Amino acid sequence: MYNLIDGKKLAQEMREEIRLGVEEFTKKNGREIGLAVVLVGQDPASQVYVRNKIKACAEVGIKSYAKYLSAESTQAEVEGLVKELSSDKNIDGILVQLPLPKHLDADKILRLIPTDKDVDGFSEENTGKLSMNEDCLVACTPNGVMKMLERYGIEIKGKKAVVIGRSNIVGKPMAMLLLNADATVTVCHSKTRDLKEECLRADILVSAIGKSKFVTADMVKEGAVVIDVGMNRDENGKLCGDVDFENVKDKCSYITPVPGGVGPMTITMLMYNTLQSALRRKI
Ligand code: NAP
């Protein structure tokens, strides 16, 4: 019988802990914690993400600064805003919602975010520190996965972990976190030969590909922990993960559902990182 990892419940519990941490910070330092969220343009999915982030801030007592720029904004205008937010003492975290309109140089804009306000954990310094196993702000989605494993008492040390996907925002930091936690890690991608064989070796299998029902039962070892990061739409437009949940679940010791798994943890970890950032800045 498999155990379901309830990301929604865990996210709720963590938000309450973060709320208490924010309250304590405010009392002690006499100021609010601030998170700036920059949205350029009107991409509908990005609008939903931004709205949810602002809602989460309100829930935990973080003051949000929503900055909306038109899709036609110039590179200089976006850079100007990020620079302004960077020097604003009231702001502990800056998040630029991706993707940015194509005419903008996203890398150049993201590089302007100071390391100590990089609550997405995407900066070169934070990713470098992560790879050196040093204290840093860690990308929210993989960090959320680590919290799930930790809170469910799933041992990582010495285990074989396989991560499918090598993006800078999920796959790579996920692999690094598992490695730092003493797993033996294999990273798979679209050019991996014998993906099924690699997956069958996994005690912990994390899928971050973006393809519905890609991970099938014949790819999963009996008793494995399966973490599904994917957020896709099935043939009926319903939200689903990368894992063929119905057929895979009975082989697992633990499995995350989609929705209600990794997704709710991501925004929670953004709140967590914003609190961490405020605590580190000591202002
Ligand atoms: P991405 O940048 O598109 O990366 C996808 C990765 O999957 C790439 O490394 C790619 O390999 C690999 N891949 C694609 N097809 C494959 C195949 N047939 N076999 C093996 N590997 C394959 O995506 P991402 O940003 O990492 O996101 C991955 C998924 O996670 C998406 O569904 C996204 O929506 C979801 N996501 C969810 C959350 C959340 O909060 N739950 C947050 C972020 C992302 P190559 O490098 O060789 O191309």
pLDDT in tens, 210-227: 999 999 999 999 999 999
Active-site residue numbers?
Answer: 53, 97, 120
H helices within 181-261, ranges in order? 195-200, 245-248
- HSE (CB half, 13 Å, CA atoms) of 29? 19
Residue nearest to atom 12 of ligand 1 (CA): 165
Residue type, 20: L
H helices within the chain, ranges in order? 7-29, 44-60, 75-86, 106-110, 124-131, 140-151, 171-180, 195-200, 245-248, 262-281
Taking 90 as the threshold, does the pLDDT of residue 5 lie above it?
yes
Taking 90 as the threshold, does the pLDDT of residue 249 lie above it?
yes
Alpha carbons 225 and 229: distance in angstroms, whole number: 13
Report which ligand 1 atom has the smallest distance to the Cα of 263. Answer: 41
Q: Are 269 and 152 spatial neighbours (Cβ–Cβ below 8 Å)?
A: no
Pocket test for ligand 1, best of 46, 53, 141, 189 (most atoms within 8 A of CB): 189
Alpha carbons 275 and 119: distance in angstroms, whole number: 9
Q: What average pLDDT does this structure show over 177-185?
A: 98
Mean pLDDT of the chain: 97
Cβ of 167 closer than 6 Å to ligand 1, yes or no, is yes
Taking 90 as the threshold, does the pLDDT of residue 283 lie above it?
no
pLDDT in tens, 77-116: 999 999 999 999 999 999 999 999 999 999 999 999 999 9
The alpha carbon of 165 and the centre of ligand 1 are apart by a number of angstroms equal to 5
Pocket test for ligand 1, best of 49, 212, 229 (most atoms within 8 A of CB): 229
Report which ligand 1 atom has the smallest distance to the Cα of 242. Answer: 32
The DSSP result for 83-115, as a single string, is: HHHHT-TT--EEEEPSSPPTTS-HHHHHTTS-G
Cβ of 103 closer than 6 Å to ligand 1, yes or no, is no
Cβ of 231 closer than 6 Å to ligand 1, yes or no, is yes
Cβ of 171 closer than 6 Å to ligand 1, yes or no, is yes
Residue type, 233: R
Taking 80 as the threshold, does the pLDDT of residue 188 lie above it?
yes
Taking 80 as the threshold, does the pLDDT of residue 282 lie above it?
no
Q: How confident is the model at residue 185 (pLDDT cuts 50, 70, 90)?
A: very high
Longest distance between any two alpha carbons in the chain, whole Å = 57
Q: What average pLDDT does this structure show over 160-185?
A: 98
How buried is residue 191: exposed, middle or buried, by Cβ count under 10 Å (0-12/13-18/19+)?
A: exposed
Residue type, 58: A
